[in-house]
Homo-oligomer: A and B are copies of this chain.
Amino acid sequence: MSSNAFGALFRFTTWGESHGPAIGCVVDGCPPRIPLAAADIQKYLDRRKPGQSKYTTQRREPDEVEIQSGVFDGLTTGTPISLVIRNVDQRSKDYSDIAPKFRPGHADYTYDMKYGIRDYRGGGRSSARETAMRVAAGAVARKVLESQVEGGVQIRAALVQMGPHGIDRDRWNWDQVDENPFFCPDAEAARRWADYLDGVRKAGSSCGAVIEVVAEGVPVGLGAPIYGKLDADLAAAMMSINAVKGVEVGAGFEAAALSGEENADEIRMGNDGRPIFRSNKAGGVLGGISTGQPVVARFAVKPTSSILQPRDTVTRDGEETEIVTKGRHDPCVGIRAVPVGEAMMALVLADHLLRHRAQCGPPLPAAAPLRS
């Protein structure tokens, strides 16, 4: 048990603080002989990198990843893969003002109460900077899925709600996701969000978001009931991302309002003995095991707690005061959570691929024929 590690068999451990010399992770359990280069990881880090638009923190971090072990002649060796990113832009002075104050809605209070340590430099370990290593580890997980699942697994995510503003699902276009600074699949919504977020930013405020992650090509049979259910692990994975307050799979909370008939994903036979589902209310998971349909998860991110609007709080010494967080903060942390959500999906799936293989042998393809 290690509270800074995730995954049972494909397992990664992260380390590092926002303003320390570096952040890193160790990926253990990776199958051998998988082609892996820094560039395979870098491309995902680049999507998450801060400072890419005026809507994300202006901290300038190249976020260049180095592979320190576990790869020989371009192939994974089956031994631990150590990944590291040096921190470059650490302006600790920005935080001196707020050092003794607790930010309402921020982890600084609970870290201090738990550990008796106040690392005021950008949130220390609780900073969202840690999520860079999830993206790095997630890139390795994608290579595992690519090499070990026939046809590959495609994992994509999109922002489907910013503040109170949703999208029109009829306009969903995956190609749009990388065409706007919000990872929004609806070009029209993205335009409106730009104005909305400008207003939020100028008001010194912040807003939340909802992210949807979709994995296609997931083999049938992944998931380890009862307590290693695929959806239970996804829930933990998504909820562990900074600022996340809710997670749902498939129809999610809306399922509560459906009738049994509406919620049933009826089954027909396709060609070649493969069953076809008429709908996907299940979000690709039944009884904690993947059905072969797309695995669909959504998570809600709360507004950034570091805002310019003054809020009442107290100091470490128990004095009442108010706080204004200057520094460089994302007005909507949900945006940069999009690649993180994808990474967590990849990590959970890679782990369950190995778990399935251990107990049941090679996994069946997503569209598997019936067994008998």
Contact = CB atoms under 8 A, between A and B. Distances in A.
Contact of A267 (B17, B126, B288, B313): B313
A245 B303 CA distance: 24
A29 B110 contact: no
Task: Bin chain A's interface residue count.
Answer: 35 or more
A259 B206 contact: yes
A252 B358 contact: no
Contacts of A206: 259-260
- The oligomer's copy count stands at 4
Contact of A245 (B102, B106, B251): B251
Nearest to A283: B245
Nearest to A369: B318
A341 interface: no
Contact of A124 (B77, B205, B257, B364): B77
Nearest to A246: B248
A159 to B, nearest CB: 10
Interface stretch (A45-53, A54-62, A150-158, A235-243): A235-243
With most chain B CB atoms within 10 A of its CB, the pick from A21, A114, A207, A256 is A256
Given A245-B283, A267-B313, A317-B372, 15 more contacts: A9-B358, A22-B82, A72-B124, A78-B360, A79-B124, A110-B289, A113-B364, A205-B261, A227-B240, A232-B236, A245-B251, A247-B247, A260-B303, A267-B312, A317-B370
